[in-house]
Each structure stands twice: as structure tokens, then as C-alpha cells.
């Protein structure tokens, strides 16, 4: 086997040095009642070439790649990834190193993550961002837990227009803690109904997502004001950070914590993971933050360098009193997001965000002209909800057979939104692609 | 000269991204505009993000230079105990990059993602077979996330039986994530000590176990690299009081093909695919932490789960006792594909062989170094061995000094000061992918460092001297945190 370098002579010599007679000897400490009763039964080992063919079979049964036209967003977005981003982030030195516990030998990862923290904080308009979480949903769950720690309160208000799968993750995390989750309904225009927050005196946080699951842009400032008026933290979640290339960012709108999914920033969709949990807050809360942080310092000779810091919040020091159990995070994805943001630059990100918005507006206009109604009137970024005429299910299925996915049916997530679809367009779907979709919808 | 570009030979200095950027540069090929421009309502429009602007060549050089300041498995031996820094096969990278998989949207209708669903089902089967457990969820994003899944399953199980419990037994050799994961579920961690042999005694567990205790978290082999020989008896004690046994499978790489986790009484186990199954660590993730359970706990696994009906793979949410979801989507697919590739490349025999050789390498190092460094527990070890600085303290040399000096010899240091039960621990895990020659060089380096500790301790105090940076002031970093630029 090509990954196992031992020759029979090596094994003999090494056994001799240890005093063991055979490899089996080392396992004599394992009592018979702990051993397998039979050898493992697994598929026969494949050669490298056979493996290529085997995985080809799986990859070939997916609607992905240039012939598929997928108008799906809903927390996972297709954006062009510059070749240079994939190239630098596939460097072995980044890919095959461990968490940078030994800073002198890990300055590459450490500086890159420090830069990620900086760019993430700038994009979100926040004072400090951590080194990453698993994904947007678990980041939101951790944000709510953090708010409960900071305020010592045990209820949270969570907009029903937050991604439904994020809300399910929140429920999983919060269920054993006794923290009460109160969902805030959305208005007929698709934005969260601030007047329906209800009781506020026991709230640890008010959490909304913007743009929300329906693509609608929320009035974050008003929610921040409501949170602060109640002594709660304002949490701004997001699933499409490209929006902040053109919209006001969460920090500007009073968020105490901004958290969400960073997959949009140069990370392939990869059937949903790995993505990038982004997590940022005001500096005053940094010691309650979950996750790793990289900080700047000096070496013995006074040269600038970077280390993991504020580790006293973390599980390997604090054990059960830690701010989170997170250990391995999504560091390489954070590095990718930083390389992507640096490739675009501020101007490029603004232009790209503008183009996403323009394409979505174009599709909205064309659909409207084709007689499709757009039930939510709140402004949107690159996705929106459409209500297709009766009988559209059949068209939808017909299009699937041609690898065209005409949006996400909302009924499974919101029973009251039967017949409504969430559509997304980014820079990867051209005017021609959108025109084809509109034509098909009409016919 | 000290600040000029090339003063350290091939390792170049490199400023921060924004120190390099100049307004007006770009490293991005903007897509063609084929639709009219719209105006964003004024009250919504924000300022242009404050991001550095670099040309493509600037961006590439920046990251290439940073990469050169990192040590990596692809560059050399990385014997971090408990972290399992084995070689990360390159074919795995090819497999997870197939456009059909890498660019697939997670919410594709089932008929358009059969390949991914079948792959998930196939990997679940492999992991069930390898562990000896009955059902698997691939959703958790890392080891600690798998632990959290396990603790949530404990919690849901006891509540379902109408008797929620409040405590959990966690041995002193446990990873720090264990008590932290238990605490997230509201459990109070009850610490128990390992015995003079470095393993748990059934009596200790019996004394701690009661009907208020949800169960026990055991890492086996444990963090000292020893097999918990009494695990069966311990599991019986815990089960007799209605508790459950959690197996932290971080060290599963030592016992592939050897141990049946189901038979020894483990009810829930997480695996770190980025340890045992060769997926790269990425400088701190992403990883994957599948959670495996015995049959009676399968209803509690995260949803959705892949089911197959009439040869068609589907997502099913039809598990009313499930703990729910842990990530928005299905897990770290890119990592799962790599692990699946690894399992298929090795097959059953070579997986077992990998464990045997990992254990051989660790025992070889233990035998070669025990005359030089104090060995915490002189017993046959599994995949790692734990020394300490006890003998070097006489020369005022600490574990930290030894670790830093190893860098000058071209090795990544072992895990240090963990496990906590061994003061000044030096925890060495060579893994099976290191050859005898490499290990011999490592042993020579450790012996040379021990000699330096005796004859010239100052060299160790000053180490490292050959890295990109000398020792960094971590105290100052924490006291006055500078976390962004």
C-alpha cells in the first residue's frame, strides 16, 4: 500500500528494538471480549485508477456543472471562484498543517487567519471577528448561547424569516439549555414583524437575518433599537455576505453580534459543506465569544508575529466552563474567504454585488411581465419569492428533467406558502439563462 | 538590511494584505454585464467595503510567501499526540473536487443528487462496519461537534425514558472538549481519576456511577495511548445503573480491525475523519465528526437520514425522536468524500495494517527514547506514547524548551502539557505513514536535544532560532488583544 512505507526488514528491526515478536503482540493488552469476532467486511481495495472511475459514477449522477441551471440559493450560492484563489488555498502548507499551536512554525496560517478576521470584521462592520465556526446555522446557535451568557437571561426572539434550517439547528442547540425560543412572524411584505416581538423584559437577544430567507432586506437598525431598548443583544444573521458589498452592513445598523454563512466568499458549494461559520461582535463581548482568535504580538527580537490568543475562553483550558466546545473549526475555508475578498477588493465586491442585484431585478421584471406574481414587496438582494400560476408543479418537474431547477418550493418549510418558490440568481446565471427560464415558465 | 525582502534566504518577508494593496488594483475578472443597472434605495445602500485591492500576482505572492512559513505533513514529520497527523493522500483531493460533487447545491431535488446520497449511504455503511456499531450520521462538522451530537443523544434518550439525568462521568485523561460538550447539554462533569497504570478502574467508576448520572465519556485508547482494558466491566457498571457509554473515537486509528466498539459496550462513538481517515487538517479544519450508535439509539440520530427505497436514495425526516439538526445542511461533504476515498483505497486489510504500523511506530519510539526521557507509564502503548521533562528539569529545561528546540531540527513538536495527568507531558504520535528512517532521525534529534539540555541548556532556552520567528510573546497578546487590522 503506497501510504505505508514499512518494508518487512523495517518491521523486523523495529520489532526487535521493542522486544515484541510480532505486530499482534502489541495488542495483547486488548482483552478477548473487546476484540472483533470477525474481520471487517469492506469493499475490496481499489487502485488509484479504479477509484477515479468509482467516484466518477457518483459525480455523474448529480445536476451540477455547466449543463445544470440551478436557480437555488437558500443559504448556498454559486459564485465564480477565481483560479488563483483555488490555487493558493490548495497549497500543502495550508492544507496539511494542524491548528497553529506552535506559532513559530505556523506563521503562515496565523497571519492568514488574522487577515481573515480583519477582512471579515471590515465587511460586517464589526469590531472583532473570530477565526471561524462550522457553518452559518451553528454560528447563529452559538451567538444565541453567547447572548444568554452575556445578559444572564433565558429567552430569545428569533425571526421566522431566518433560514428555516438555521432555526432547526438553533432548536437543537438550545433545547437542553432551557433557553426559550420565541419566533417572530413576518409581515405580508416578507420582512419580520417588529411589532410582534412580544414580551421583551426577559430577552437575551433579538435575532433577525438580513437579507432574510426570502431574500428580503430587513430594517436591522429598528431591530437593534428594539433589542437595546429591552436590554438584549442585537444579533444579525446572514447567509449571503456578498450583500454587504452594496448594502449597509450589520455593524452600521447596531448589531452586537453578526453571524452567518461565508460559503459565498470563494468556497465551493460542495453539497452543503464544508462552509464557513462567520462570527463577529463588539469588542466589549470578546471574552464571551466562542471559537478561536488570532492576535498580533512580537517575537523575542521585536518582530511582528501572530499567535492564538484569549485561550482562557476555550475548552482545552477551561474545560466545562469554556465559552464553547468548538476546537477544530473551518480554518482553511476562512483562509479561502480572505483570499477571495482580497481578489475582489472593495471595488470588485461592490461591482459584483451590484451585478447580483441587477440580475435578480431583471429576472423579477421578466417574471412579472410573464404573469408571475411576486408576493413580497420588501426590497431584495439576489433572491426573491415568486408565486407561480396553478399547475406550475408540472412545469417544475418538466424542467428538472432538463437539469433546470426553477427555485426552491417553500411549502415544506412554510406550509402557508404553498405554490411559492424561492429563486436565486448570481453572476453565474446569464441573461440568456434567465430568458430561457421565463420562456419555459410561460409555455 | 534587517527589514529588506530577502534577508532570510528563500523565506521572504511579507506584509499584511492591506499593507500590500493599492486602490485601483483588482485581482478579479468581473463577469460581463448583460442586464441594466438598478439603483439601490438610498436608505439601504452602504459604503464600498473597506477591503484591500491587489492584483492577481500580488495576491498569489502574498499567500505563497505565507505558506512558506508553515510546517506541514507534506513537508515533514508532525508527531502531535492525539492529533493523528498522518499523510493526506492526494487522490482524495482529486475525488472531492469533481465538479459534479464540488459544485452541487445541497438542496437539489433528490432525483438530481442520487450520486451524493448514495455516497453518503455507502460511507455510513463502511463506518458502521469499521466501528462495530449499527447506525451512523455524517452530519457533525468536527470531533467536538460529534461529541455534542453524542451528548444530545444521551440527553434525548434519558428524557424519552422519562428520567432526565444531571451528571456525566469524565475521566481526567479526557480531551477538554469532552467536559465542554457535556456542559452544553447542561450536564455537570464528574471527574474520575485513572489508576497507577494510567487506565480507569471499574471500582472508581462504580463509586461515581448513580442513577442521576447519564453515563460516562471514555476515550479508548485513552490520551496516554493506553487501551482501557477494563472497558467492558466499566460499561457493565454504567449500563446496570441505566447509564450510557460514550466513546470518544479520536484515537480509533490505533485499533481499526481489532476492536468491536459495540461488543465492548460503547453506545455512542464519534470518529474524527481528519484523524483516523486521513482527511487534511487545513490548519485547524474543516474536519468531520460522524456519530455512530448502537441500534437502540438510532432513532435519536440527527436528521435527515438517507434511506433507500426501491433503489432510489431519499432524505427522510421520519424520525420523531431525533435530536434534530446540527448544521444547516448534511455535513462536510468535501471531507466525507476524502474519507470514503481513503477507505476504498486501503480496504479492510490495509486499514488494519495501518493501525498495526501506527502502534509499531509508537512502541519503537517509546523503546528508543525511554532511556533518555522519563516515560510516564512504562506499559505497552497503542498509537502514541507520553514522556515528560522530569529528567531535564534538573538542568532547568522544560517541555516547552524541548518542543521549541525540535523545530530547529526540522520536526514539528509533539503535543505538550497534555494529557494533564502527566506534568510536563510530551505526547508523541508518529502515525503509520512515517518510515523507519524518518523516525530514526526524530529519535536522534530528541537524543541530541537531551544532550544539549545537559551540556548547553541555553540553546534550548533560546530555541527556536531557525524559524520565521523566534518565541512569541503570548502573554502580551492576551493582555492587550490586537485581533484585527
Q: Is residue A147 part of a domain?
A: yes
Q: Which residues pair with A192 in a beta bridge?
A: A186
- Interior/surface letters A137-151, b for 16+ CB within 10 angstroms, e for the rest: bbbbbbbbbbbbebb
Q: Over 60: is that where the pLDDT of A130 sits?
A: yes
**What number is the average pLDDT over the span A165-173?**
98
Helix (H, G, I), strand (E, B), or coil: what is residue B258?
A: coil
Measured between alpha carbons, how far is B322 from B157 in angstroms, rounded to an integer? 10
Complete domains list, chain B, with CATH: 1-29+40-69 (no CATH), 91-344 (3.40.640.10), 353-476 (3.90.1150.10)
Last residue of a domain, one of A281, A313, A340: A340
Helix (H, G, I), strand (E, B), or coil: what is residue A51?
A: helix
Structural contact between residues B71 and B78, judged by C-beta atoms closer than 8 angstroms = yes
Query: Is A217 close to B176, i.e. CB distance below 8 A?
Result: no
Q: Which residue on chain A is closest to B365 by alpha carbon?
A: A18
Q: Which residues contact B211 (CB under 8 A, 6 or more apart)?
A: B163, B165, B241, B242
Residues A52 and A76 occupy one common structural domain = no
Residues A185 and A213 occupy one common structural domain = yes
Q: State residue B3's pLDDT score.
A: 52
Q: State residue B2's pLDDT score.
A: 46
C-alpha cell at B249: 473515537
Q: Over 50: is that where the pLDDT of A384 sits?
A: yes
Q: Over 50: is that where the pLDDT of B386 sits?
A: yes
Q: Which residue on chain B is closest to A165 by alpha carbon?
A: B328
Q: Which residues of B fall within a CB distance of 8 Å from A28?
A: 380
Q: Is the CB of residue A74 less than 8 Å away from at least one CB of chain B? A: yes
Q: Is residue A1 part of a domain?
A: no
Structural contact between residues A436 and A404, judged by C-beta atoms closer than 8 angstroms = yes
At A60, the pLDDT band (50, 70, 90 cuts) reads: very high
Query: Is A325 close to B144, i.e. CB distance below 8 A?
Result: yes
Measured between alpha carbons, how far is A283 from A281 in angstroms, rounded to an integer? 6
Measured between alpha carbons, how far is A88 from A342 in angstroms, rounded to an integer? 12
Give tens-digit pLDDT for A191-238. Answer: 999 999 999 999 999 999 999 999 999 999 999 999 999 999 999 999
Q: Which residue on chain B is closest to A14 by alpha carbon?
A: B364
**What number is the average pLDDT over the span A76-104?**
97
At A442, the pLDDT band (50, 70, 90 cuts) reads: confident
Residues A34 and A88 occupy one common structural domain = no
**What number is the average pLDDT over the span B48-58?**
97
* Structural domain that includes position A103: 83-340
Q: Is residue A2 part of a domain?
A: no
Residues A116 and A255 occupy one common structural domain = yes
The chain-wide mean pLDDT, for chain A, equals 96
Q: Which residue on chain B is closest to A248 by alpha carbon?
A: B46
Residues A109 and A217 occupy one common structural domain = yes
Residues A106 and A171 occupy one common structural domain = yes
Question: Domains in chain A: how many in total?
Answer: 3
C-alpha cell at B350: 490495509
Q: State residue B250's pLDDT score.
A: 92
Q: Is the CB of residue A330 less than 8 Å away from at least one CB of chain B? A: yes
Q: Over 50: is that where the pLDDT of A62 sits?
A: yes
Residues A238 and A305 occupy one common structural domain = yes
Residues A167 and A254 occupy one common structural domain = yes
Structural contact between residues A26 and B359, judged by C-beta atoms closer than 8 angstroms = yes
**What number is the average pLDDT over the span A348-363?**
98
pTM: predicted TM-score of the whole model, two decimal places: 0.97
Q: Which residues contact B57 (CB under 8 A, 6 or more apart)?
A: none
Å from A125 to nearest chain B CA? 9
Q: Is the CB of residue A30 less than 8 Å away from at least one CB of chain B? A: yes
Residues A15 and A92 occupy one common structural domain = no
Å from B48 to nearest chain A CA? 6
C-alpha cell at A26: 502489541
**What number is the average pLDDT over the span A267-276?**
97
| CATH for A425 | 3.90.1150.10
Q: State residue B12's pLDDT score.
A: 87
At B1, the pLDDT band (50, 70, 90 cuts) reads: very low
C-alpha cell at B170: 469524565
Last residue of a domain, one of A340, A360, A382: A340
Measured between alpha carbons, how far is B62 from B84 in angstroms, rounded to an integer? 29
Measured between alpha carbons, how far is B267 from B416 in angstroms, rounded to an integer? 31
Residues A327 and A370 occupy one common structural domain = no
| CATH for A305 | 3.40.640.10
Q: Is residue A35 part of a domain?
A: yes
At B9, the pLDDT band (50, 70, 90 cuts) reads: low
Å from B295 to nearest chain A CA? 18
Q: Which residues of A fall within a CB distance of 8 Å from B272?
A: 328
**What number is the average pLDDT over the span A52-62?**
97
Q: Is residue A276 part of a domain?
A: yes
Percent of chain A exceeding pLDDT 70 equals 100
**What number is the average pLDDT over the span B427-448?**
98
Measured between alpha carbons, how far is A193 from A182 in angstroms, rounded to an integer? 13
At A315, the pLDDT band (50, 70, 90 cuts) reads: confident
Alpha-helical regions (H) of A372-415: 392-401
Q: Is residue A3 part of a domain?
A: no
At B4, the pLDDT band (50, 70, 90 cuts) reads: low
Q: Is residue A273 part of a domain?
A: yes
At B317, the pLDDT band (50, 70, 90 cuts) reads: very high
Q: State residue B5's pLDDT score.
A: 55
C-alpha cell at B32: 460581463
Q: Is residue A249 part of a domain?
A: yes
Give tens-digit pLDDT for A100-117. Answer: 999 999 999 999 999 999
Q: State residue B8's pLDDT score.
A: 55
Residues A238 and A116 occupy one common structural domain = yes
Percent of chain B exceeding pLDDT 90 equals 95
Query: Is A269 close to B88, i.e. CB distance below 8 A?
Result: no
Q: Is B11 exposed, middle or buried (0-12, 13-18, 19+ CB in 10 A)?
A: middle
Give tens-digit pLDDT for B195-235. Answer: 999 999 999 999 999 999 999 999 999 999 999 999 999 99
Residues A143 and A161 occupy one common structural domain = yes
Structural contact between residues B384 and B429, judged by C-beta atoms closer than 8 angstroms = yes
Give tens-digit pLDDT for B140-179. Answer: 999 999 999 999 999 999 999 999 999 999 998 888 889 9
Interface of A with B in 187-246 (CB under 8 A): 217, 244-246
Q: State residue B405's pLDDT score.
A: 96
At A443, the pLDDT band (50, 70, 90 cuts) reads: confident
Amino acid at each position: 500500500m503506497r501510504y505505508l512505507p514499512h518494508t518487512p526488514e523495517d518491521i523486523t528491526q523495529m520489532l526487535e528494538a521493542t522486544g515484541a515478536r510480532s505486530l499482534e503482540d502489541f495488542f495483547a493488552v486488548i482483552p478477548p471480549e473487546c476484540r472483533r469476532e470477525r474481520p471487517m467486511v469492506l469493499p475490496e481495495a481499489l487502485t488509484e485508477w479504479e477509484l477515479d472511475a468509482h467516484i466518477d459514477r457518483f459525480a455523474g449522477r448529480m445536476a451540477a456543472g455547466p449543463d445544470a441551471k440551478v436557480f437555488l440559493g437558500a443559504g448556498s450560492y454559486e459564485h465564480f471562484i477565481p483560479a488563483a484563489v483555488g490555487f493558493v488555498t490548495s497549497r500543502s502548507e495550508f492544507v496539511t498543517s494542524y491548528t497553529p499551536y506552535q506559532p513559530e512554525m505556523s506563521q503562515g496560517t496565523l497571519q492568514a487567519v488574522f487577515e481573515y478576521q480583519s477582512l471579515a470584521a471590515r465587511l460586517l462592520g464589526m469590531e472583532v471577528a473570530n477565526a471561524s465556526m462550522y457553518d452559518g446555522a451553528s454560528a447563529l446557535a452559538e451567538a444565541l448561547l453567547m447572548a444568554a451568557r452575556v445578559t444572564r437571561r433565558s429567552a430569545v426572539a428569533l425571526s421566522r424569516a431566518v433560514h428555516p434550517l438555521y432555526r432547526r439547528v438553533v432548536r437543537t442547540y438550545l433545547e437542553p439549555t432551557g433557553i426559550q425560543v420565541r419566533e417572530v412572524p413576518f409581515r405580508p411584505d416578507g420582512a419580520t414583524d417588529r411589532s410582534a416581538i412580544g414580551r421583551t423584559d426577559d430577552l437575551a437577544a433579538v435575532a433577525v437575518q438580513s437579507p432574510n430567507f426570502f431574500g428580503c432586506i430587513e430594517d436591522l437598525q429598528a431591530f437593534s433599537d428594539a433589542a437595546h431598548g429591552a436590554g438584549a443583544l442585537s444579533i444579525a444573521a446572514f447567509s449571503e455576505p456578498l450583500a454587504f458589498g452594496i448594502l449597509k452592513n450589520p455593524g452600521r445598523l447596531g448589531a452586537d453580534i453578526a453571524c452567518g454563512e461565508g460559503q459565498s466568499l470563494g468556497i465551493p458549494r460542495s453539497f452543503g459543506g464544508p462552509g464557513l461559520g462567520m462570527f463577529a461582535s463588539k469588542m466589549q463581548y470578546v471574552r464571551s465569544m466562542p471559537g478561536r482568535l488570532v492576535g498580533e504580538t512580537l517575537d523575542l527580537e521585536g518582530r511582528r508575529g501572530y499567535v492564538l490568543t484569549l485561550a482562557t475562553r476555550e475548552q482545552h483550558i477551561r474545560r466545562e466552563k469554556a465559552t464553547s466546545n468548538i476546537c477544530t473549526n473551518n480554518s482553511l475555508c476562512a483562509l479561502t474567504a480572505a483570499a477571495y475578498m482580497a481578489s475582489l477588493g472593495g471595488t470588485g465586491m461592490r461591482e459584483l454585488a451590484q451585478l447580483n442585484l441587477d440580475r435578480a431585478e431583471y429576472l423579477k421584471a421578466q417574471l412579472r411581465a410573464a404573469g408571475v406574481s411576486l408576493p413580497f414587496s420588501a426590497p431584495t438582494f439576489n433572491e426573491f419569492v415568486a408565486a407561480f400560476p396553478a399547475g406550475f408543479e408540472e412545469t417544475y418537474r418538466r424542467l428538472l428533467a432538463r437539469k433546470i431547477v426553477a427555485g426552491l418550493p417553500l411549502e415544506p418549510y412554510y406550509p402557508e406558502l404553498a405554490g411559492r418558490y424561492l429563486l436565486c440568481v448570481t453572476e453565474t446565471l446569464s441573461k440568456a439563462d434567465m430568458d430561457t427560464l421565463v420562456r419555459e415558465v410561460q409555455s | 538590511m534587517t527589514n529588506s525582502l530577502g534577508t532570510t534566504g528563500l523565506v521572504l518577508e511579507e506584509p499584511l494584505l492591506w499593507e500590500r494593496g493599492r486602490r485601483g488594483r483588482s485581482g478579479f475578472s468581473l463577469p460581463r454585464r448583460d442586464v441594466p443597472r438598478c439603483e439601490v434605495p438610498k436608505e439601504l445602500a452602504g459604503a464600498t467595503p473597506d477591503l484591500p485591492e491587489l492584483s492577481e500576482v500580488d495576491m498569489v505572492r502574498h499567500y505563497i510567501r505565507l505558506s512558506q512559513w508553515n510546517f506541514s505533513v507534506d513537508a515533514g514529520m508532525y508527531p502531535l499526540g492525539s492529533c493523528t497527523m498522518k499523510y493526506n493522500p492526494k487522490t482524495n483531493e482529486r475525488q472531492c473536487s469533481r465538479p459534479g460533487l464540488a459544485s452541487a447545491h445541497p438542496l437539489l431535488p433528490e432525483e438530481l443528487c442520487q450520486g451524493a446520497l448514495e455516497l453518503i449511504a455507502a460511507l455510513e455503511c463502511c463506518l458502521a462496519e469499521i466501528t462495530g456499531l449499527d447506525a451512523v450520521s455524517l452530519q457533525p462538522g468536527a470531533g467536538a461537534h460529534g461529541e455534542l451530537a453524542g451528548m444530545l443523544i444521551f440527553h434525548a434518550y434519558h428524557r424519552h425514558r422519562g428520567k432526565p439525568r444531571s451528571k456525566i462521568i469524565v475521566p481526567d485523561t479526557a480531551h477538554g472538549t469532552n467536559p465542554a460538550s457535556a456542559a452544553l447539554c447542561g450536564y455537570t462533569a464528574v471527574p474520575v481519576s485513572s489508576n497507577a497504570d494510567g487506565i480507569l478502574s471499574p471500582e472508581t467508576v462504580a463509586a461515581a456511577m448513580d442513577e442521576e448520572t447519564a453515563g460516562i465519556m471514555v476515550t479508548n485508547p485513552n490520551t496516554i495511548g493506553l487501551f482501557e482494558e477494563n472497558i467492558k466491566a466499566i460499561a457493565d457498571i454504567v449500563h446496570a445503573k441505566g447509564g450510557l457509554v460514550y466513546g470518544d473515537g479520536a484515537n480509533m486509528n490505533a485499533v481499526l480491525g481489532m476492536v468491536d466498539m459495540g461488543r465492548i459496550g460503547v453506545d455512542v462513538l464519534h470518529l474524527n475523519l481528519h484523524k483516523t481517515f486521513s482527511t487534511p487538517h487545513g490548519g485547524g479544519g474543516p474536519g468531520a465528526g460522524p456519530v455512530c450508535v448502537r441500534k437502540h439509539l438510532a432513532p435519536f440520530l440527527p436528521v435527515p437520514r438517507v434511506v433507500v427505497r426501491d433503489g432510489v436514495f431519499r432524505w427522510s425526516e421520519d424520525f420523531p425522536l431525533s435530536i434534530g439538526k446540527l448544521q444547516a445542511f448534511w455535513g462536510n461533504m468535501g471531507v466525507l468524500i476524502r474519507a470514503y476515498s481513503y477507505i476504498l483505497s486501503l480496504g479492510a486489510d490495509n486499514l488494519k495494517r495501518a493501525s498495526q504500523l501506527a502502534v509499531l511506530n509508537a512502541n519503537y519510539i517509546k523503546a528508543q527514547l525511554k532511556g533518555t526521557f522519563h516515560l510516564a507509564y512504562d506499559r505497552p502503548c497503542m498509537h502514541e506514547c507520553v514522556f515528560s521533562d522530569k529528567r531535564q528539569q534538573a538542568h532547568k529545561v522544560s517541555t516547552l524548551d524541548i518542543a521549541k528546540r525540535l523545530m530547529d531540527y526540522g520536526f514539528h513538536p509533539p503535543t505538550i502539557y497534555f494529557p494533564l495527568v502527566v506534568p510536563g507531558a510530551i505526547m508523541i504520535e508518529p502515525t503509520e505513514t512515517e518510515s523507519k528512517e524518518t523516525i530514526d532521525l526524530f529519535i536522534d534529534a530528541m537524543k541530541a536535544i537531551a544532550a544539549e539540555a545537559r551540556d548547553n541548556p541555553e540553546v534550548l532556552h533560546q530555541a527556536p532560532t531557525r524559524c520565521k520567528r523566534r518565541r512569541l510573546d503570548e502573554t502580551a497578546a492576551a493582555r492587550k488583544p490586537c485581533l484585527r487590522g
